[in-house]
Structure 1
Amino acid sequence: MSHKSTFTEQELVSQLKSNNREAFEYLYDRYSSALYGIILKIIKDEEKAADVMQDVFLKIWKNISSYNSEKGTLFTWILNVARNTAIDKLRMDVKMQLNVSWDAVKEIELTPGAIFTPTPSTIDIRAIVELLLPERKLLIDMVYFQGYTHEEVSEKLSIPLGTVKSRIRKSLQELRGVFGVNTPVFQLAS
């Protein structure tokens, strides 16, 4: 099948909304590598990223009618579809890892010696931090992964120090909830 060499964005959207297969193939050929790169940055697993990629293009195909050019470009819209789908997959994977069915655990297995306590090296903290709101994720990244102090973050982002500290505290509470613990996972940096 020969592809039309180019579409204007308006033509492409119109053809996609008409369920034109050639337009969809053009969209895939033109944007799939950029979308895959974004998905892979979030998922960090090539096989899962490929699965998410299929889901993304299926969502685009099914939901193109909801695209509104007044809210942004087509690329921005499909980029958001890809990003949101990848984040949803990541969240689902984290939930699956944390979901324990007590019916599946025999009473004899509940001895103190049988309790598994993962070492920090086996937990992908960055993937879990990715689940936070963007402004919280940025603060956690700067303080705990890049080594900034609260004061440096406040100065660098032009945010009041109290706001930085309260957002970090809320972020840590949210992360504790993910781990299902009420004890501190991280010590607050000063």
Structure 2
Amino acid sequence: MEDFTQLITECALNNRLSQEKLYYKLYPALFLLCRKFFPDNNDALEALNDGMLLVFKNIGKFNADKGAFFNWAYTIVRNAALDKLRLQKWPEHRELDNYLPETKEALWGKLDWKDIYKLLDYLPPATRSVCTLFYLEDFSIKDISEQLQLSQGTVKWHLSETRARLKPVFKAHYQHK
């Protein structure tokens, strides 16, 4: 397996082949990250590509003494996705026919990742981002408020909205098992 440090060095020298190799090494995890924020695969891919462009533009600034490269790239891509969310006009959301336990563990514990993504698709985009940051990324309400430039009260409302919209879905899911 190719040395990660060598790839980073070559990417800093603008080596296109190394950039492609690094992109494909990071793609699976970073695409799933972006998919948490966007129900449409094309939007998730666009956010990922925007983030990776920033990674490649700033790769010379990466300092291994401050942390792992993956964490650095993950943060850049996540922030690019959040920027894309901030700039979007929120489309109308789908209504649910059915409705989340109150705790994170009860909420996501028994579900497969594919099921979680399907459930997130039922949420309006702003509520989806708050839900993802709080329940899946473990951000605090204060941090979410700062990242999305929302008041803490609005963040709490989105979390409440998440529980209200998904509660019947979870009840139906647990009754069938």
Shorter-chain-normalised TM-score: which range?
0.5 to 0.7
Counterpart Cα distance in 2 of 1:119 and 1:78? 31
What secondary structure, in the 3-state scheme, does the structure 2 residue paired with 1:33 have? Answer: helix
Which of structures 1 and 2 has the bigger CA Rg? 1
Counterpart Cα distance in 2 of 1:33 and 1:119? 27
Counterpart Cα distance in 2 of 1:54 and 1:76? 17
User: Quick check: 1:85 aligned with 2:80?
Assistant: yes
Structure 1-normalised TM-score? 0.52
Tell me the equivalent position of 1:53: 48
Where structure 2 has 5 or more consecutive residues not aligned to the other structure, the ranges are 97-122, 145-150, 162-177
After the TM superposition, which residues 8-19 of structure 1 pair with which residues of structure 2 at under 5 Å, given as runs? 8-19=3-14
1:138 Cα offset (Å)? 9.7
Amino acid at match of 1:30: K
1:9 Cα offset (Å)? 2.5
Contact 1:16 1:23 in 2 (8 A): yes
Counterpart Cα distance in 2 of 1:58 and 1:14? 16
Tell me the equivalent position of 2:2: 7
User: Quick check: 1:70 aligned with 2:71?
Assistant: no
The verdict on how the C-alpha distance between 1:97 and 1:38 changes in structure 2, with shifts beyond 3 A counting, is: closer
1:129 Cα offset (Å)? 2.8
Measured on the aligned residues, the alpha-carbon RMSD in Å equals 3.5
Tell me the equivalent position of 1:37: 32
The verdict on how the C-alpha distance between 1:46 and 1:16 changes in structure 2, with shifts beyond 3 A counting, is: same
Contact 1:67 1:74 in 2 (8 A): yes
Contact 1:129 1:137 in 2 (8 A): no
Tell me the percent identity. Answer: 26
User: Quick check: 1:172 aligned with 2:177?
Assistant: no
The verdict on how the C-alpha distance between 1:136 and 1:17 changes in structure 2, with shifts beyond 3 A counting, is: same
Amino acid at match of 1:71: K
User: Quick check: 1:135 aligned with 2:162?
Assistant: no
1:173 Cα offset (Å)? 5.1
1:8 Cα offset (Å)? 1.8
User: Quick check: 1:28 aligned with 2:54?
Assistant: no
Aligned length: 122
Where structure 1 has 5 or more consecutive residues not aligned to the other structure, the ranges are 1-5, 99-117, 140-169, 179-184, 186-190
What secondary structure, in the 3-state scheme, does the structure 2 residue paired with 1:12 have? Answer: helix
Contact 1:53 1:82 in 2 (8 A): yes
Counterpart Cα distance in 2 of 1:127 and 1:137? 17
1:23 Cα offset (Å)? 1.2
Contact 2:141 2:156 in 1 (8 A): no
Counterpart Cα distance in 2 of 1:175 and 1:11? 44
